[in-house]
Amino acid sequence: MKIFISKGRTNFFSFSYINGREFFTHKLTLPEKITFVSDDELLRIALLALPMEDKFIEVIGIEPSQIIVNSLSAILNIEILCENYSHHDNQSDLYSISDDTPIYLGFSGGFDSLAAKNILPNCICVSLRFGGYFERESKFFANLDTIIFEWDIRTERLNLIKRFNESRHWRFMLAPLSLLKGNADNIVIATGTIMEAAPYWMHNRHSELKAYNHFGFGKGVSLINPVCGLTEYGTTKIVMRQYNDDFIQNSLKSLSHENSFKRYRKQCLMAAVRENDTFNKIISYPKKTEFGSSFGEDMISLYFCWKFGLDWVEHNYAEGIPNSVKNLDLSFFEKVNVNNLMHIDPIYRKKIIDNIKKFDIQEYDEHDYEKLNILNNWYFDNK
């Protein structure tokens, strides 16, 4: 595969991919804030947004450092060839976050990223305007304090590759943020990844930080997940405590269609946070989710079984949940799993935890970790 990277007359870059008869191109327009663009970061974006698979990639139009080429080559298990290489080396590891370290948060305006914004010290929001179906998001976050990139990667094409294959990996959605690094040798990027987003965060097997993890972004990037110790209940609670009803309704409109299951799930979670019987007044969604079809949705369904009861869930939310769910205690779902924050250095981690506690969210105790392990064992026996 060949990748051609070129700069436009204005502040945008074009990335073109050619592999036999397959062709794909996307254009990234930078915010005015960015005055220096590193070839290393352009390579990072080009490779994390690959539209197709290939083991050998020739990159034309930039001169990246050998250190970033080696780093990304090892991560992606590909061979990368460039016309020329620069001699600079500004990619390093990070060991602690200081008071003056900027944290760039990938910000969509949804509940999870709003929660992350409110618990992160030194937070700078950064958003991607994709257009098309996702224009609903940008209409909301454009009115907030956020740095905006414009990227046409998600628009439909007329050539053989009609759509970008987003199932290859989620990293492409954060890749442009590395351009905010400038001349620095490391950049801290934060996400709104919650606990039930992946099985990895639902397991209690995280070790103390040695150096910040790039989580597949390559050397020179430190990725942190400040809300990975919280469930969707936790992020919903933070948003409901921090913002007024009008703001919350506008956020909901931006994240999904009014009649979508995603919007329905948020209504149910908001009822859970209110701690009253409003969940009995929610009009049930026409089509229920099927237990075992989605990890994240399964976790929410099991929480609702504990919170609202299995009968309510069977009538209003999910089908196929075993009756033995009644033996599970998911009270921990409303707390913060601080072990999930071990990928953050102790001093900065404490600041995040203290900010979470301001929203009346408590830390796990030893019994909560036991309940989490019981849930994991039950789930993988019953899904």
Mean per-residue pLDDT, 338-363: 96
Tell me the pLDDT band of 35, cut-offs 50, 70 and 90.
confident
Mean per-residue pLDDT, 125-152: 87
pLDDT reading at 132 higher than 70: no
pLDDT, greater one: 123 or 204:
123
What pLDDT score does 162 carry?
67
Tell me the pLDDT band of 180, cut-offs 50, 70 and 90.
very high
pLDDT reading at 160 higher than 70: no
* pTM for the structure as a whole: 0.92
pLDDT reading at 204 higher than 80: no
Mean per-residue pLDDT, 307-328: 94
Residue type, 155: T
Structure tokens given for 266: 């948020």
pLDDT, greater one: 312 or 154:
312
Tell me the pLDDT band of 347, cut-offs 50, 70 and 90.
very high
Tell me the pLDDT band of 39, cut-offs 50, 70 and 90.
very high
The neighbouring-strand residues paired with 59 are: 3, 82
What pLDDT score does 252 carry?
92
What pLDDT score does 86 carry?
83
The span from the CA of 375 to the CA of 285, in Å, is 26
CA pseudo-torsion sign 172, 177, 183, 184: negative
Tell me the pLDDT band of 364, cut-offs 50, 70 and 90.
very high
Phi/psi for 349 (5° steps) reads -60, -45
pLDDT reading at 16 higher than 70: yes
The mean pLDDT of the chain is: 90
User: How do residues 54-88 score in pLDDT, each as one tens digit?
Assistant: 999 999 999 999 999 999 999 999 999 998 888 77
What pLDDT score does 117 carry?
96
Mean per-residue pLDDT, 217-228: 94
Tell me the pLDDT band of 296, cut-offs 50, 70 and 90.
very high
The span from the CA of 65 to the CA of 183, in Å, is 13
pLDDT reading at 205 higher than 80: no
The span from the CA of 46 to the CA of 165, in Å, is 14
State the SS3 of the chain.
Answer: CEEEEEECCCCEEEEEEEECCEEEEEEEECCCCCCCCCHHHHHHHHHHCCCCCCCEEEEECCCCEHHHHHHHHHHHCCEEEECCCECCCCCCCCCCCCCCCCEEEECCCCHHHHHHHHHCCCEEEEEEECCHHHHHHHHHHCCCCCEEEEECCCCCCCCCCCCCCCCCCHHHHCHHHHHHHCCCCCEEEECCCCHHHCHHHHCCCCCCCCCCCCCCCCCCEEEECCCCCCCHHHHHHHHHHHCCHHHHHHHHHHHCCCCCHHHHHHHHHHHHHHCCHHHHHCCCCCCCEECCCCHHHHHHHHHHHHHHCHHHHHHHCEECCCHHHHHCCCHHHHCECHHHHCCCCHHHHHHHHHHHHCCCCCECCHHHHHHHHHHHHHHHHHC
pLDDT, greater one: 167 or 21:
21
- Calculate what percentage of the chain has a pLDDT beyond 70: 96
